[in-house]
Amino acid sequence: MSPVGHGFELRCMGAKEATYGQAIARTRSIELISESLAEDSPPNKKGSLRGFQPRAHFPATRKPSGDLVAELFFEGHERFLEAAFGQIATAELEASTRWKHTFTPTKLLPSLSLEIGRDIATFLYTGVKVNAFALNLVPDQLLQATYSVLAQDEDPEASPTADAHLAEKLAAYYHAVMTIDATPFDVAEFNWNLTNNLADARFRNGTRLRKEPVRNEMGAFEGSFMADFEAIAEYLKFKNSTEFALVLKLTGPALGAGNYEIELTLPKCVYTGSTPVVGGAAVIPEEFPFECYAADDLSVPAATLAVTNSIETPL
């Protein structure tokens, strides 16, 4: 029987590149829900005229891009998160047991080599930059992360690397507590987006490959959450453009004297809407979209993500 590719055999491995676009051995596996990382280089037709039928074409520039959708476990995403934010700082919290990895935004972003196994073939992507990153948390689901990436090159005939999975440490909705100005606040859904706004159409003569994507404008940090309309206080913050601090913290299984943790800290937020309205007899829902800002003197970033786990040195 002829072989056929199955989605359940999807594999993803990655590692941080030392030099942009130069492949490096992939050292960490992560599980994906889905992916859409694909080459985009349809042929160009010549523009000169000679009859009504197209006669000639030439290769286009190569623009691999797409999304990696994953469940964000307490361990294993360190290099992917570093690629999204830009910087990682690791501190030992408990000797030989517990480490805290703090991710902060930086102007320059590292690149990854990614290996995507699609059952029948293994595709290697080099020069992978994270253009956008999203977190999504809803009831009865694990914390979900989406990495929207731009790659420089694709090799569809790569040799597969042996998987390097970690023990699964799942981060679920019920692990999460959100606070506003240090006071717990009940939310039904939470979404947060980091957009790096990279220039995705930089090219140079002599090659069909992308030039390294760099920031093309200021980054954007924004999110939203859904909650029942139970008080007017948060709406008044929107009306008055009152700043507030938001923290989303997921506390997982015990780890030494502490726990596995994922903590998103947004110290300076402002609501961008909206008025709670009545659409029927049910409980009134309210959506709270917001934007995040750095401190005026840039001493405090617009966002930090801290992950506490048993990884001493991220791979």
Q: What is the pLDDT of residues 249-302, one digit of tens each?
A: 999 999 999 999 999 999 999 999 888 999 999 999 999 999 999 999 999 999
Dihedral over Cα of 293, 299, 301, 307: its sign? negative
**The whole model's pTM is what?**
0.95
% of the chain beyond a pLDDT of 90? 92
Work out the pLDDT band at 1, boundaries 50, 70, 90.
low
Strands 153-155 and 122-137: what pairing? antiparallel
Is the per-residue pLDDT at 70 higher than 90? yes
Q: Which token pair is 20?
A: 């942009």
HSE of 161 in the Cβ direction (CA atoms, 13 Å)?
22
Answer whether 11's CB lies under 8 Å from 115's CB.
yes
The per-residue pLDDT for range 105-138, each reduced to its tens digit, is 999 999 999 999 999 999 999 999 999 999 999 9
Amino acid, single-letter form, for residue 166: L
How far is the C-alpha of 292 from the C-alpha of 94, rounded, in Å?
32
* pLDDT tens figures, 289-311: 999 999 999 999 999 999 999 99
**Per-residue pLDDT, 28:** 94
Average pLDDT over residues 186-210: 95
Cα 91 to Cα 76: distance, rounded to the nearest angstrom: 17
Segment 221-227 shows an average pLDDT of: 97
CA 59 vs CA 7, 40, 138: distances in Å: 30, 11, 44
Give the C-alpha separation, 71 to 215, whole Å: 27
Inter-residue contact 111 to 125 (CB < 8 Å): no
Question: Are residues 128 and 24 in contact, defined by beta-carbon separation less than 8 angstroms?
Answer: no
Nearest CA-CA partner of 143 in 15, 252, 236, 4: 252
DSSP helix/strand/coil, 103:
strand
